[in-house]
Structure 1
Amino acid sequence: MTGAGGRAFCSGGDLKTYMPWRRQLAQEGNESTISFGGMTLPHEITKPVIAAIQGYCIAGGLELAMACDIRLSTADSKFGLAEVRWGVLPGGGGTQRLPRLVPVGYALEMILTGESITAQRAEQIGLVNRIVEAGDLLDTAFKVAQRIVENGPLAVQAAKKAVQQGLSAALQDGLTLEAALQRQLLQSEDAQEGLKAFAERRSPVFKGVAS
C-alpha cells in the first residue's frame, strides 16, 4: 500500500468536510467506527500488508499505515496523530495500535501533544521497520513481499494470526494458540513438502493445501 505521488502517503480526512460530517453523525446518535475501507477495523486480514510510505503520514494516514504489518519509509516522511489539537482523538485505531507498536510513553507523547516526528525518530522507536531511498521504496517493498511469497502460505497466515491474536492474550493463551496452529501446519501437505525439500536440498513448491 502506498500513496499517489511523493508528497504524502496519506494526510487523513479533510477537517473542513469530513470531521463536521462525523460530528453530525455523533449528534444524531449514528456515529460508527472509522474503517478506512475496512483496513482499520478489527477484522482478520490473513494476507501480509506492506506500507510503502513517502511524505506525510498523518492522522488517518498513520492509522492506515499502522493497520499494515510492515512499514517502509523514506527519509523525508513525517508521522503524527494531531487530532487532539482540534478537540478530537485519533479514532481510527490510533489510540490502540500505536501503544502496541511503540513503548507506551512514546505513544502517549505523540497522541497527547499532537506533534509529528521524523522518519528517523519513527525508526528509532519502532514505528517503521526501515528507511530506504525514495527511488528504492517500491522496489524494496516488492522485494519484501516476494520474500514472503516464497514461504509456505499456510505458515505465513498462521504465523501472522499467532502474533496478532497473541498480543491481546495472556502469554499462556498465546502459547496454546501457537501450539494449536503448529499442529495444524504439521498435518498439512505444505509442511510435508517443506521438510522433504529441505532434506533434498531444493526449494519447496508449496500449494497452500491444508491436508
Structure 2
Amino acid sequence: MTIDLERKGPIALITINRPDAMNALDVDHDRALAKVWKEFDADPSARVAILTGAGGKAFCSGGDLKTYLPWRRQIAQSDAESTISFGGMTLANEIRKPVIAAIQGYCIAGGLELAMACDIRLCTADSKFGLAEVRWGVLPGGGGTQRLPRLVPTGIALEMILTGESISAPRAEQIGLVNRIIDAESLLDRAFQMAERIAANGPLAVQAAKKAVQEGLNLSLQDGLALEGALQKQLLQSADADEGLRAFAERRSPVFSGKTS
C-alpha cells in the first residue's frame, strides 16, 4: 500500500505515493488514507500533519476513474449512504488536529477536495487546481460544492465547478484558495516550519481554536461567540493553560502536556 506515514517529533508527514497514477486514489488507497488519518487523530503525541503527493507532478488527481468511481456508482445504485468521505477526511470535522496541504502539480477533482479539507494550503508555482467532475457526468461529491464556495467568492466557485476548468497557482492565491506560493525545493521545508510553529503551541488550544472556526462558520455570530466562550472556559481549567500562564510569568517557553487537568 502506498500511503506513506513518517514522523518527525509531533509532526506527521502523510504522502500519497502513487506517482504513476498521478496520485489518484483507488478504493484500497482511499481506505488506506482514511486509516492513516484515524491513527493520526488518535495519537496524542501527533499534533500536526502535512499531506502531500509523491513524484512532483501531482498532489492528487482525485478518485481513480477506472476503479473508484465505478465502485461509488455501485454504492449509489444501492440503498447505502451516499455521503462521501473521500480519503477519510472530506466530511465535516473528521480530523480534529491541524493539517497542512503541501501541493505540487495537479490538485484536481478529489485531490482539490482533499486539499480543501486541510486547514492551510501551500503550493508551488506550477500547481493547477480544478473540479472537473461535470465533464464525466457527475458532480464534486467529496465536499467540493460545499467547501469551495466557503473559501472563494460564490461566482468564482460556480465558474470552476460548472466549467470544470482548472486555474493556475497565482490565480488560486489571488482568490484565497491557497495561502501562499513557495518554490518547489522549499515546499516541504516551509510546510514543516509552519507545522513546528503550530506544534509548539498548546495542543488543546490549537484543536479548540480549529473547532471554533470550523463549527462557528455555520452558526450565527451570537451562537459562534457562545461556542467560543464555552471552549475557552474548558481551556482555562486545563493543565495546559496553567502551564502557559506559569511559563509566561517565569519568562520561559511552556512545556505543554495536552492534558485537560
| TM bucket normalised to smaller | over 0.9
SS of 1:52's partner is strand
Aligned-pair CA distance for 1:152: 0.6
> Residue in 2 aligned with 1:146?
196
Query: Deviations along 1:28-82, whole A, 9 cap, x unmatched?
Result: 3446332223111224311101110000000000001111111110000000001
Structure having the larger proportion of residues in strand: 2
Q: Which runs of 5+ in 1 are unaligned?
A: none
- Matched-pair contact (CA < 8 Å) for 1:2–1:9: yes
Which of 226, 245, 249 lines up with 1:195 in the alignment?
245
Name 2:60's counterpart in structure 1.
10
Post-superposition shift, 1:106? 1.3
Distance 1:63 1:44 in 2: 14
Q: For 2:154, which of 83, 101, 104 is the aligned residue?
A: 104
Amino acid at match of 1:114: G
Cα displacement (A) at 1:16: 3.4
Hey, what does 1:208 align to over in structure 2?
Answer: 258
Which one-letter code corresponds to 1:115 in the other structure?
E
The TM-score normalised by the length of structure 1 is: 0.95
Matched with 2:99 is: 49
> Deviations 1:156-198 (Å, cap 9, x if unpaired)?
0110010001011111110000001111111112112112211
Corresponding letter in the other structure for 2:110: G
| Residue 20 in structure 1 maps to residue 94 in structure 2 | no
Task: Please state whether the residue corresponding to 1:13 is helix, strand or coil.
Answer: coil
Question: Given that residues 12 and 59 in structure 1 are in contact (C-alpha distance below 8 angstroms), is that contact kept between their aligned partners in structure 2?
Answer: yes
The residue number in structure 1 matching 2:89 is 39
The whole-number CA distance in structure 1 between the counterparts of 2:251 and 2:81 is 57
Matches within 5 A, 1:124-143: 124-143=174-193
1:24–1:205 distance in 2 versus 1, CA, 3 Å: closer
Q: Secondary structure at the match of 1:165?
A: helix
- Taking the aligned partners of 1:175 and 1:110, their CA distance within structure 2 comes to 33
CA distance in 1, matches of 2:167, 2:176: 12
Could you tell me how far apart the structure 1 residues matched to 2:137 and 2:85 are? 20
- The percent identity for this pair of structures is 82
Distance 1:116-1:210 versus aligned 2 partners, 3 A rule: same
C-alpha RMSD of the superposition: 1.3
The question of whether the paired residues in 2 share the 8 Å contact of 1:3 and 1:53 is answered with: yes
Give 1:85 deviation, angstroms: 1.6
- Counterpart of 1:184 in structure 2 is 234
Residues 93 and 214 of structure 2 are in contact (CA less than 8 Å); yes or no, is this contact kept in structure 1? Answer: no
Partner residue in 2 for 1:156: 206
Equivalent in the alignment of 2:164: 114
Secondary structure of 2:59's partner? Answer: strand
Task: Provide the rounded CA distance (Å) in 1 between the counterparts of 2:254 and 2:69.
Answer: 50
Distance in 2 of aligned mates of 1:180 and 1:151: 20
Alpha carbons of structure 1 residues 101 and 20: separation in structure 2 relative to 1, 3 Å: same
Q: Bigger shift: 121-130 or 195-204? A: 195-204
Counterpart secondary structure, 1:37: helix
Deviation at 1:209, TM superposition (A): 1.7
